[in-house]
Amino acid sequence: MQQKKTKTKNKTKNKKKRCDFAVQYGEPLSKNQRVGLQFVEEFKQRIPRSEVEEVEKIVRAAAQELRPGTIVTATGSYRRGKETCGGMFATRKHRYFLIAPTDIDLLITHENSEMHHGILLPLVRKLEQMQLLTHHLVVVKDASQHKYMGVCQLNGLSHRRIDILVVPIKEWPFALIHFTGNDYLNRSMRWLAHFKDMHLSEKGLFAVRRLASFKRKNKKNYFAESHTKQERTTQRRHTCSQHQDRGGRIRGARPQISPSG
């Protein structure tokens, strides 16, 4: 898990480096990069709760007009009851910053387990005709796509990032919890599920079968934080000393004797 986070962080830094290089030396930017630079100051701003509520109403009305029974819910900090919504722009050391830009997250499903399929394409076209969507970061080309990312503008106000995700009704409760957050709650719930031999994600809650030896080994790791640093260091050294000596050789292995010896 740590390795995956490191790869994602490095990928974000590399994208930022390429963007800095392109701006400095006049290299051509991609369409999404141009949109980001064009509205970067507006994307930094927190979004008023009333604005998110109005966008939610417009999208819900359009979706229900296309398919009655469609459920549309704004998630994230809006559903957590915050007065202003969106991620926070936090500056890191040196010249890189890692952030969740402010955006509007909408989760869509349908009461019928099959009726959610293919709703995203006509919905995006309808919202574009209503002049709510101004720029597309992810183009919806066919009915199989279930996620849209773009830019919206409400009644001449600031441009806002908007994400729309369509999920089946059976995944709705888990997706609602995941995309409402916050991050601390999601990590805590996943840790608890893992401790109870289950796997929790935005897709659902699944049972995981593990070997008894795996359980015993990882049970010690769950309570490692309750030990002192000195005890953990001593335990690590004791484990290593059981397998290797100071020269790095495996203990108990017979020495290799050359024919001349």
pLDDT by 10s per residue, the chain, length 261: 555 555 555 555 555 555 555 555 456 788 888 888 889 889 888 999 999 999 999 999 999 999 999 999 999 999 999 999 876 544 444 444 445 568 899 999 999 988 899 999 999 999 999 999 999 999 898 888 999 999 999 988 999 999 999 999 999 999 999 999 888 999 999 999 988 889 999 999 998 876 555 554 454 444 444 345 555 555 555 555 544 444 444 444 444 444 444
Contact 67, 73 (CB under 8 A): no
Residue found by looking up tokens 């500056």 in the block: 91
Q: What is the pLDDT of residue 120?
A: 94
Of 190, 165, 187, residue with least CA distance to 175? 165
Q: What is the pLDDT of residue 146?
A: 92
Contact 250, 243 (CB under 8 A): yes
Contact 52, 102 (CB under 8 A): no
Q: What is the pLDDT of residue 15?
A: 58
Residue 12 vs residues 30, 58, 103, 129, 199: alpha-carbon distances, Å: 16, 33, 18, 33, 27
Taken in order of first residue, the domains within the chain and their CATH numbers are 24-180 (3.30.460.10), 189-241 (no CATH)
Q: What is the pLDDT of residue 3?
A: 55
Q: What is the pTM of this model?
A: 0.68
Angle at 149 between CA 144 and CA 151, to 5 degrees: 140
Q: What is the pLDDT of residue 95?
A: 47
Q: What is the pLDDT of residue 17?
A: 53
